[in-house]
């Protein structure tokens, strides 16, 4: 995000930090809070009633879950760090995905699914060296649902990333396709879907997320209003914990992939 002058940059940075502080709860505190709230069966019933008794199956486990929401459950650095961050707490770990979402090359996360940035090493100054591997034709596949996108080898985009996850993600990490639930609870209406998803974060799960610097307006206009509505409705804040970032790796793109992914791309006949 570009700013005209130093003052505007300073104000934007202050706004970004303020908004993150408003919606984030430390991971330790979030685990403590959700365990207390889970004893309030009346509160759980209120949330279920608000969502029309339509709670996704992966949010109905015996224990609250750690939750990461992504287009596809793919083992990029951010997802691998998420798995490592929550492992010590011994709670179920779920990556929610939306396989009927539309491929859009302007979206960096979706673009990385097709033109995969793989770290090959580090330069002399310590910066990560990236090599991009094109596994599909973005122009040709643009506008298709993710579960309809095919790769250069004729295979499925979704199946490729699932297979990659099966090889590289820890076994305790599960994925859940939330496509049908999203369609019923506000697809295409960001404010509505966020309000519904954040309701699940009162008693059913803890979401980990890192909002990028240029997402301050998105937090202010979409996330924070949904957050406040849920707090007013249920008397408790949704639990969103900060997702750790790999500061020591000098990555320009946290949604890039480790070096070992290149072998899997090659084995799939995509090199």
Per-residue pLDDT of the chain (271 residues; tens, 9 = 90+): 555 677 777 787 788 888 889 999 999 999 999 999 999 999 999 999 999 999 999 999 999 999 999 999 999 999 999 999 999 999 999 999 999 999 999 999 999 999 999 998 878 877 778 899 999 999 999 999 999 999 999 999 999 999 999 999 999 999 999 999 999 999 999 999 999 999 999 999 999 999 888 888 999 999 999 999 999 999 999 999 999 876 655 567 889 999 999 999 999 999 8
pTM of the predicted model as reported, rounded to 2 decimal places: 0.93
Dist. CA 177–CA 161, nearest whole Å: 13
pLDDT at position 15: 85
| pLDDT value, residue 212 | 84
Reduced to 3 states (helix: H, G, I; strand: E, B; else coil), residue 152 is coil
Cβ-based burial of 119 (10 A; exposed 0-12, middle 13-18, buried ≥19)? buried
Q: Do residues 130 and 118 lie in contact, with contact meaning Cβ atoms separated by under 8 Å?
A: yes
Maximum alpha-carbon separation in the chain: 59
Number of Cα atoms under 13 Å in the Cβ half of residue 215: 9
Cα→Cα distances 212→1, 17, 219, Å: 11, 11, 10
3-class state of residue 134 by DSSP: strand
């Amino acid at each position: 995000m570009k700013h005209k002058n130093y003052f505007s940059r300073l104000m934007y940075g202050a706004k970004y930090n303020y908004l993150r502080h408003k919606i984030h709860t430390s991971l330790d505190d979030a685990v403590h809070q959700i365990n207390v709230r889970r004893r309030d069966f009346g509160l759980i019933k209120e949330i279920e009633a608000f969502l029309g008794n339509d709670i996704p199956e992966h949010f109905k486990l015996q224990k609250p879950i750690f939750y990461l929401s992504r287009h596809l459950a793919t083992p990029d650095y951010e997802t691998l760090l998420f798995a490592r961050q929550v492992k010590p707490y011994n709670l179920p770990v779920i990556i929610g995905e939306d396989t009927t979402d539309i491929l859009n090359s302007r979206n960096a996360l979706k673009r990385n699914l097709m033109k995969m940035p793989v770290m090959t090493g580090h330069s002399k100054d310590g910066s990560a060296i990236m090599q991009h591997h094109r596994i599909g034709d973005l122009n040709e596949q643009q506008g298709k649902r993710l579960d309809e996108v095919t790769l250069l080898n004729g295979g499925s985009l979704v199946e490729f990333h699932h297979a990659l996850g099966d090889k590289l993600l820890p076994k305790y990490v599960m994925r859940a396709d939330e496509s049908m639930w999203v369609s019923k609870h506000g697809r295409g209406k960001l404010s509505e879907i966020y309000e519904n998803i954040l309701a699940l974060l009162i008693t059913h799960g803890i979401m980990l997320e890192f909002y990028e610097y240029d997402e301050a307006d998105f937090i202010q206009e979409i996330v924070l209003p949904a957050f406040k509505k849920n707090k007013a409705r249920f008397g408790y804040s949704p639990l969103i914990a900060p997702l750790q970032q790999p500061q020591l790796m000098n990555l320009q793109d946290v949604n890039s992939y480790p070096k070992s992914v290149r072998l899997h791309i090659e084995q799939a006949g995509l090199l």
